[in-house]
Structures are given as C-alpha cells and as structure tokens.
Chain A
Amino acid sequence: MRFVDEFRDAELGQVVAGEILAKVEPGRHYKFMEVCGGHTHSIYKYGIDDLLPANVELVHGPGCPVCVIPMGRVDDGIALAHHENVIFTCFGDMMRVPGSNGSLLDAKAAGADVRMVYSPLDALRIAKQHPDREVVFFAIGFETTAPSTALTLKRARAEHVANFSCMCSHVTIVPPLRALLESPDLRLDGFIGPGHVSTIVGARPFEFIPSDYGKPVVIAGFEPLDVLHAISMILDQLADGRSEVENQYTRVVPYEGNLRALEIMAEVFELRPHFEWRGLGFISHSGLKLSDAYADLDAEWRFDVPGVRVADPKACQCGEVLKGVIKPWECKVFGTACTPERPIGTCMVSSEGACAAYYNFGRFAREREVV
C-alpha cells in the first residue's frame, strides 16, 4: 500500500541501521524517549530495538492515551454507566482498564449498558437511534483524538441531538513532557516526537525542548523506517552540537499543524486548571474540559459524577513505566500477575502501552548483542 510498504523495506532498514551504528560514539550511552505509544508499539512489533547498537537506549514516554487515565476516572465512568437510562460508549481498550472495583467490561457484565465504539461519531449515531436514552461518550486521547470529539459535539449541536453528552478526559502532550524534563529521575539525550499529535498541533509546541532544555526533537512517523530515520536524525543533531525540532514525518505533519482542528478545539474545549495522570499525579493545564459554550453537552454537568480519587494499586508500576524510569519487564507484576488477558495496570491494556507491546512482541528477544 502506498505510504506504508515503502516505509517497511527491510533492506533499507538495514542500511539506516548501519548508518546509525556509524554515527554513535562507542563510549557514549544515548537515551532517547519515544513520546508516543504508537512508536512504542512499532518499536517492539518490528524489532527496531534489535537493529540498534546496544548503547542506544529507547525510553518509552507517556503518550499512550489509555495508559494515562487514572483509576478514579475509570470509577467515575463506571458510576455514570450505572445511571438509569444511560448508554455509556467508549473505545474498546478503555473498556478493559481496571478501576478500583472492576472495569467497564465488568460493569457491562453486571448489567450496565456499555458499548464499544470506534469513533465519537458512532456514539452520536447510537444517540440518534435511541432518542429515549441518554448516550454518554467517554472521550479520551491526546490532541490527535480531541478534534474528532470536538467535531462530533458540534455535529450534535447542529443536528439537535439532545440526548448526547461527553465525559471529557482528553489530555495534552506538552505539560507531561515538561514535567518529565523537570524530573530528576531521568536523563534524556533526545526525543522522537509524536507524529500524529503533531499533525494537529504542528512542530511549534515542542520548540521549548531544544530552547529551554537543549535537547533535540525529531517528529517521526510510525513505520519502522520512520523510527530508524528519526534516530539517525537525532544522532546527527548531537554530532553537530545542534538541538532543534526537526520533522521527519513531512508526509503528514505541517509545521503549523492543522489550523482548522486547532480552531475547533479552541471553540469546544478549555484547559482544566489541573488533571490527574496515572502515575504522574496532577499536572497543571494538562487536561481538557468542555467550554462554557458546550457545557450543556458535558456529562459531568448533566449527571452526578462522584469525582473519585483512587491511589494506583501498590503492585503496579505503570507510573515508573510511563515516566521511562523502569522498563516494562522490571515491574514486579509484569507477565505474571499482570498480562494483557488480566491487566492490573493500564500499560498492559492498550496495544500502545509499553507493557502490552513488550509482552506481545519484545519479550522473546531481549538480550541484544553488545557492540
């Protein structure tokens, strides 16, 4: 398929891997964070880790939409799903995220009307099919998904669908990155920037990383050659003593982002003063809620939502995994008590979660040859 096959060329991959090997300084250890869960998935799926010299370490970042949702938020969703007359809709992987007392899937088994949708538009369609029921969409995701929710809310307003509302848990990528850069736990040499978030927000929001912290950023696509090429570009910046935001994913990411999407998001959403992230705690101005103009479509206004705050389970180390402080396999419950079939933490639920990606693809070939 066009735009896909040419970026999965194994021979070209070996060539780029050779270039990377030639660019690294043998005595130096490089630590790059791939911000987005989509990159984490690709890295394990295609064995990109195994093509890299041993002194190039990839650290998994916080950009997995499902992974960062705190347990209390899941409990809130479940409470809403149990409201009489509510059809609660959400993306499939969100249904399996454990709350403090089971998941949305468990709530469905217990009688709540919880339905999986592929898009907010599907949820709106359900609302139109069931005018006598209240349909709530559990909106999660970064700036990549938020425009889709915004457009659906605008459509609901335009088409007078009064029984549709949204429990907004959208988050933004820059505040957690800044929090990570301020964290003393982590020393990073560069970032593989999130490709699809950048399609919406553009390259500009990441410029604080080179300007304030002196670290290179290369916005990258999700095919194996994209990721390898981005690593090679970061190494070039380090070798030249440069730190800037570069765009490897030019086939979809314009420097200024998608202005129409940004405009619609600004109309429909506003920043929450703070939002709780799983494992990262409360981060200021990192979450979105519906703006005053759309408050009538806000499920948290329409229904009584408990606003639960629950500590993460003690055994689960998703927070450390999300911050890149530990690798998935270093978590105490990885692959034993916590598996994709019976997840304890969010990172094991979503295909973009570092633990699930590693469990599904990477765990059989961890030992790499030291260069």
Chain B
Amino acid sequence: MTVLRVDLARGLALCSDKEGTKSSVETALIEPVSPGDALLVHAGTAIATLAADAR
C-alpha cells in the first residue's frame, strides 16, 4: 500500500492499495513513514517498508 497521509500523533497512516481503496494503517513498527512510501501491510499493520533498491 502507498502512504497518502501520516498522523504522527496517533501512529497511523492513511494508505491506498492498488485499486485505490483507502484504509488507516498502524505504523508503529516501521516509523518514520512519509507520503509516497510503499508499505507491506498485514492485518491493518505495516510490517515493512519496501526497499527501493531491491533486486
């Protein structure tokens, strides 16, 4: 999912999936996040930031 907006105070980010569906995602495990970051989200929690320099 791609980060659209970050709510630092609540530890949440508004994210959009590839179909454009938006949802709030818990970001405590991977902070800091910024708009435009690609996140791996599992059960409403971002568990990794996808590395841009990957294979």
Q: How far is B41's CA from A165's CA once the two chains are assembled, in angstroms?
A: 23
8 Å CB interface, B3-19 against A: 18
Name the one of A120, A144, A152, A251 contacting B47, with C-beta atoms under 8 angstroms.
A144
Given A121-B24, A121-B26, A260-B28: A251 touches B54 (CB 8 Å cut-off): yes
B47–A118 contact, CB under 8 A?
no
A258–B48 contact, CB under 8 A?
yes
Residue of B24, B43, B51 most packed against chain A (CB within 10 A):
B43
A151–B54 contact, CB under 8 A?
no
Q: Which residues of chain B are within 8 angstroms of A149 by Cβ–Cβ distance?
A: 43
B42–A196 contact, CB under 8 A?
yes
Given A121-B26, A145-B43, A148-B26: A250 touches B51 (CB 8 Å cut-off): yes
Q: How many residues of A contact B (CB 8 A)?
A: 29
Q: Which residues of chain B are within 8 angstroms of A50 by Cβ–Cβ distance?
A: none
Name the one of B23, B26, B38, B48 contacting A2, with C-beta atoms under 8 angstroms.
B38
8 Å CB interface, B33-48 against A: 38, 40, 42-45, 47-48
Q: How far is B43's CA from A258's CA once the two chains are assembled, in angstroms?
A: 16
Given A2-B38, A260-B29: A119 touches B47 (CB 8 Å cut-off): no
A261–B47 contact, CB under 8 A?
yes
Measured CB to CB, the nearest residue on chain B to A200 is B47
Q: How far is B40's CA from A144's CA once the two chains are assembled, in angstroms?
A: 11
Given A2-B38, A121-B24: A141 touches B43 (CB 8 Å cut-off): yes
B47–A122 contact, CB under 8 A?
no
Q: How far is B38's CA from A151's CA once the two chains are assembled, in angstroms?
A: 21
Q: Which residues of chain B are within 8 angstroms of A253 by Cβ–Cβ distance?
A: 48
Q: How many residues of B contact A (CB 8 A)?
A: 19
Q: How far is B40's CA from A123's CA once the two chains are assembled, in angstroms?
A: 21
Does A199 count as interface, using CB distance less than 8 angstroms? yes
B50–A3 contact, CB under 8 A?
yes
Q: Which residues of chain B are within 8 angstroms of A200 by Cβ–Cβ distance?
A: 47
B45–A119 contact, CB under 8 A?
yes
B44–A252 contact, CB under 8 A?
no
B2 to nearest A CB, angstroms? 9
Q: Which residues of chain A are within 8 angstroms of B54 by Cβ–Cβ distance?
A: 3, 250-251
B29–A261 contact, CB under 8 A?
yes
Does A98 count as interface, using CB distance less than 8 angstroms? no
A118–B48 contact, CB under 8 A?
no
Q: Which residues of chain B are within 8 angstroms of A311 by Cβ–Cβ distance?
A: none
Q: Which residues of A contact B (CB under 8 A)?
A: 1-4, 91, 118-122, 141, 144-145, 147-149, 151-152, 196, 199-200, 250-253, 258, 260-261, 264
Starting from the known contacts A151-B29, A258-B30, A260-B28, 16 additional A-B residue pairs (CB-CB under 8 Å) come to A3-B50, A3-B54, A119-B43, A119-B44, A121-B26, A122-B44, A144-B47, A147-B45, A148-B42, A148-B45, A196-B42, A196-B47, A251-B55, A258-B29, A258-B48, A264-B29
